[in-house]
Amino acid sequence: MKKIYLCALALSVGSLSFGQNISGKTFENAKLKKELDQYGPSKNYASSTINKAPGDTIWEEDFTGGLPTGWYVQDNTGNNAVWVIQAAGTLPDADFTTNQATIASNSGGNCMLLYSDLYESPMPAGGYYDMDSYFQTSGIQVSNFNGVSINFQQSFRRCCAITPAPVSVVSVSTDSTFATNFQEYDIIGGVGGNIASADPMDVSINISAIAGSYTGKIWVRFHIKSGSEAYYWMIDDITVVEAPTNDITAQAPYYGFTPVGTFGYQYTRIPVNHIQSADFTMIVDNIGTADQTGTQLNVDINDGSASVFNQSTTAMTLNSLTRDTLEMLGQWTPPATTGIPYTVTIDVSSDSTDLTPNNNGAVFPPFQVSQYTVALDDYSTTPGNGGAQADPNGATEHEAGNFMEAVISEAAPGVEFLAGSNTTIGASIDAVLYRSSGGDYIEIARSANYVVTAADTATPKTLLLIDGLTGQAPILQADSVYFFGIHSFDDSFQWATSGVGPAPNTNSATHSSVSFPNRASATTTYSLTGTPMIRLILDPNLIGVDEVEKDVKFNVFPNPSNGVFNINFSSNEENNVNLTVKNVVGQTVITETVNVSGKTNHQISLSDYSKGIYFLTVGNETVKLIVE
């Protein structure tokens, strides 16, 4: 256990989102300054130790009336990069932010927004600049409370944090100018660069170092400092409360399988041959004024009918205003029985009655031991869509997929995918397999080119991988990390998504990513929060499938045609080759076996079928046919 004494303790739970309707003028300083005098003050409750109890609200603001009187907005960049009041809805598109919604706060409605991406779209002359902007409250009355906390909800995504943390802070002071007697608290909460935070991300910070046992006014400042080119940052539902006596909160809950190194993966399907023991960890904050004896991490695993594992870590004392990481490592290994859905629940408890027990744990999506499938998605029957947008330099070619770590050496014959419903039918793709080492990607195998059909949006499709050196199915090496994905030649392909990536600041490795091979920096990868429904198939029965056809080459002409197509085959040996033709909804209209010896010509006719697009598959390669 690693103990850290903190001035600030932050909690984050949930996932992400964002949006609204605004005009360009919303972002003008002149409009903001006018708003300063337009609205009334925040709610400041009677500050008396007689009528207050731990957890009671001292002051609150949800921006229903706009920017309150006496609040102050400051931009230190000189580029009009200001915090503004933002109404609920969808944000205008910017270079790197599209179709995003405003924070899903408890109150809804208005929030405070720093829309950095819009301020820097298009890219300013001289390159992107760091944000340095804050908003500040008017004075908040406190009256000799033993402990004081500030709670709020936020949603953000930031880029390029080149300055050591904290670069995004809440500052609290008894001096309205913040020249003296102030304290800064980091509010990033472990969320990495280019990763969206939870939406909303609930934050609770104990500010007793400034406001505890003090009578008078305090001022609060939300400041995005230089060192972060944030895409956006939103704040809502700010409250100041009397700090509770007993309140522990949990963040960064994690379970995963970790054969090598310190980072693991939260699989939803793990093959029998790759079963490992599981690890469980969680960061725990004591934001109350009392030490918490008997603090422990509890793990329960349920197979759908009963608990099959239930244990706790050794009890310890978590002192007031401290943080600790609780761990349970390698104490449970799934049995080698396939198809059983295990649900993992972890939480933290102590000897005291917790004020807010609902933020003390997490329940993870079920996972199963499989025969041959490696998967990280949640197998949703109503998946979402994930697709690469063109970046500012026009790049659209991309590769998206997931990671796994091999426990043993064995063949990896195929990659299974489900196309998103927004995919353009006829998109050209192939499957890829890389070994990942030290940030480098070494290509191990690739499939033949494939043309997406409508059926691929409803039923998963498997593409066979071929090692370019051996001509056979690739072999995974034990204790190595691999990336398996789908390569699209443009942005017409969208992958189905199901589930979200692991919580920020956990022990989990990056689960999913997308890269752009034809970018100026082709090795750059971006983490994905929505998990692609792309899986690695280790089924040995796939080895040798289409072994004959992969030695046969073919071309089709004319294409487009009036319905009659000539197929030229070539092979060094005599082979029987299977071909099929499907329509755009995946129905088979032609299936034939052709004897190929040397150079062989074969003709098919779609003259009796409707004009449009069809898909010819020979072996594992598919081409698009157009009937005019």
Element containing residue 571 per DSSP (H, E):
strand 564-583
Contacts for 352 with CB less than 8 Å, ≥ 6 apart: 245, 246, 290, 292, 293
What pLDDT score does 535 carry? 98
What pLDDT score does 28 carry? 32
Torsion of CA 230, 234, 235, 236, to 10 degrees: -170
What pLDDT score does 541 carry? 87
Q: Beta strand pairing status for 428-437 and 414-417?
A: unpaired
Taking the C-alpha atoms of residue 25 and residue 28, their distance in angstroms, rounded to an integer, is 5
Q: For residue range 542-594, list pLDDT tens digits in order.
A: 876 555 555 688 889 999 999 999 999 888 777 778 888 988 777 888 988 88
What is the value of pTM for the model shown? 0.72
What pLDDT score does 306 carry? 96
Is the model more confident about 24 or about 467? 467
Q: For residue range 340-399, list pLDDT tens digits in order.
A: 999 999 999 999 999 889 889 999 999 999 999 999 999 999 999 988 765 555 667 889
Mean pLDDT along residues 503-522 = 70
Distances (CA, A) of 467 to 359, 444, 447: 48, 6, 9
| Percent above pLDDT 90 for the chain | 55
Question: Vertex 59, ends 58 and 62: CA angle to 5°?
Answer: 145
What pLDDT score does 528 carry? 83
Question: Vertex 391, ends 437 and 84: CA angle to 5°?
Answer: 110
Is residue 491 very low, low, confident or very high in pLDDT (cuts 50, 70, 90)?
confident
Residue 415 · residue 465 · CB < 8 Å: yes
Residue 548 · residue 577 · CB < 8 Å: yes
The torsion angles phi and psi of 129, rounded to 5 degrees, stand at -115, 155
Q: For residue range 39-73, list pLDDT tens digits in order.
A: 344 555 433 333 445 568 999 999 999 999 999 99
Is residue 117 very low, low, confident or very high in pLDDT (cuts 50, 70, 90)?
very high
What pLDDT score does 303 carry? 96
Taking the C-alpha atoms of residue 60 and residue 66, their distance in angstroms, rounded to an integer, is 14
Taking the C-alpha atoms of residue 297 and residue 295, their distance in angstroms, rounded to an integer, is 7
What pLDDT score does 370 carry? 97
Element containing residue 208 per DSSP (H, E):
helix 208-211
Closest CA to 325 of 280, 363, 266, 277: 280
> Residue 200: is its pLDDT beyond 80?
yes
What is the average pLDDT value for the chain, to the nearest integer? Answer: 84
What pLDDT score does 346 carry? 96
Closest CA to 340 of 365, 364, 363, 369: 369
